[in-house]
């Protein structure tokens, strides 16, 4: 599947958000529960986030250009960042009516039917989240992962709301309903904060996971018996794209062709352990002292 084809998963998320908004709105109208209202408002955030994901996946799939030679894959971080911000905004719209209802409790109506409708919406979200998790595992899209995690947060939120509203109906303790809504808001704030943090870290060009770096090193160590060394290993990740740069030091008497052939072989081996990776290698003579002057992380001042 091409990266552009990932938009089909975003369309699935959009459709699920529209359906769950309708179902949860019906559940709120039937019961009058602010807990269910908070659940419905979170689904509106799901819709906006899904539309943002659709736009960013479309942009991220564009091929590299003269202005953006490393591609547009970082656009996915904007999607998850905006989603986190929207989640935080949704929490405000939940807290205010919950406080009002806490001060002036009101009885719930037609609880059984309303909860059944809300439960159906949760089943839809859980199914779509599973599809998105599978797609993320296969294609490595942070946008799909963020959307899936948000949907699962929605599912667990709904389960809590349904259980709480059921207790309200059974015990008659009406203040429990707004208390549940406030708990939902707190959970939403936690989820939104984590998404925004991850997006910011992604935009800061974080290194690849340690296991990926170790896999690259294992490939390089295979050539040590040929007198080959390496240093200045640098890695970064932008959305689904992974970048690796490395300086390869070889005996100075090697021909240019010999060194070039070695780099081609090493790059191919690294692509096996880092599928789809963008590999940059630099050839240096191992005997030259100047070859060892560029091992620092920041070499701009040299």
pLDDT over 70 (residue 271): yes
65 and 34 in a common domain: yes
Q: How far apart are CA 96 and CA 86, in angstroms?
A: 16
Query: Number of folded domains in the chain?
Result: 2
223 and 97 in a common domain: no
256 and 228 in a common domain: yes
- Domain ends where: 173, 203, 233? 203
> Is residue 297 assigned to a domain?
no
pLDDT over 50 (residue 212): yes
pLDDT over 70 (residue 2): no
More confident residue, 159 or 14: 14
Most confident of 177-181, 215-219, 276-280: 215-219
152 and 275 in a common domain: no
More confident residue, 2 or 189: 189
Instruction: Note the pLDDT of residue 37.
Output: 73
> Is residue 298 assigned to a domain?
no
Domain ranges, residue 25: 3-203
220 and 185 in a common domain: no
Instruction: Note the pLDDT of residue 98.
Output: 66
Instruction: Note the pLDDT of residue 207.
Output: 82
pLDDT in tens, 21-69: 888 788 778 777 766 776 677 677 778 778 877 877 777 777 777 777 7
Predicted structure pTM score: 0.56
194 and 144 in a common domain: yes
pLDDT in tens, 99-153: 766 777 666 655 677 778 778 888 888 898 899 888 877 776 777 777 787 788 7
> Is residue 302 assigned to a domain?
no
132 and 64 in a common domain: yes
- Domain ends where: 171, 203, 235? 203
- pLDDT level of residue 299 (50, 70, 90 thresholds): low
- Domain ends where: 174, 203, 232? 203
> Is residue 240 assigned to a domain?
yes
pLDDT in tens, 224-269: 888 899 988 988 877 667 889 999 999 989 999 999 999 999 999 9
129 and 39 in a common domain: yes
- Give the CATH number of the domain where residue 282 resides: 3.30.70.1350
- Give the CATH number of the domain where residue 35 resides: 1.20.1510.10
232 and 216 in a common domain: yes
Instruction: Note the pLDDT of residue 109.
Output: 59
> Is residue 301 assigned to a domain?
no
């Amino acid at each position: 599947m091409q990266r552009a084809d990932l938009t089909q998963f975003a369309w699935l998320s959009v459709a699920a958000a529209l359906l769950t908004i309708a179902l949860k709105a019906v559940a709120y109208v039937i019961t009058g529960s602010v807990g269910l209202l908070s659940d419905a408002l979170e689904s509106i955030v799901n819709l906006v986030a899904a539309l943002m994901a659709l736009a960013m996946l479309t942009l991220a799939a564009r091929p590299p250009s003269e202005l953006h030679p490393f591609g547009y894959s970082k656009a996915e971080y904007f999607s998850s960042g905006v989603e986190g911000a929207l989640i935080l905004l949704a929490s405000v719209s939940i807290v205010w009516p919950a406080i009002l209802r806490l001060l002036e409790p009101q009885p719930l109506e037609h609880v059984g039917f309303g909860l059944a409708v809300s439960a159906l919406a949760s089943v839809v979200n859980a199914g779509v989240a599973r599809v998105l998790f599978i797609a993320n595992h296969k294609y490595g899209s942070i946008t799909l992962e963020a959307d899936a995690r948000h949907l699962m947060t929605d599912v667990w939120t709904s389960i809590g709301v349904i259980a709480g509203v059921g207790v309200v109906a059974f015990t008659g303790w009406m203040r429990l309903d707004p208390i549940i809504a406030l708990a939902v808001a707190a959970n939403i704030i936690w989820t939104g904060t984590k998404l925004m943090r991850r997006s910011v870290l992604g935009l800061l060009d974080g290194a690849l996971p340690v296991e990926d770096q170790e896999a690259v090193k294992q490939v390089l160590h295979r050539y040590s018996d040929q007198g080959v060394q390496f240093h200045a290993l640098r890695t970064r990740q932008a959305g689904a794209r992974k970048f690796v740069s490395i300086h390869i030091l070889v005996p100075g008497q090697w021909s240019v062709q010999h060194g070039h052939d070695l780099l081609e072989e090493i790059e191919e081996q690294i692509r096996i352990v880092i599928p789809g990776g963008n590999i940059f290698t630099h050839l240096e003579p191992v005997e030259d002292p100047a070859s060892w002057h560029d091992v620092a992380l920041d070499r701009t001042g040299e």
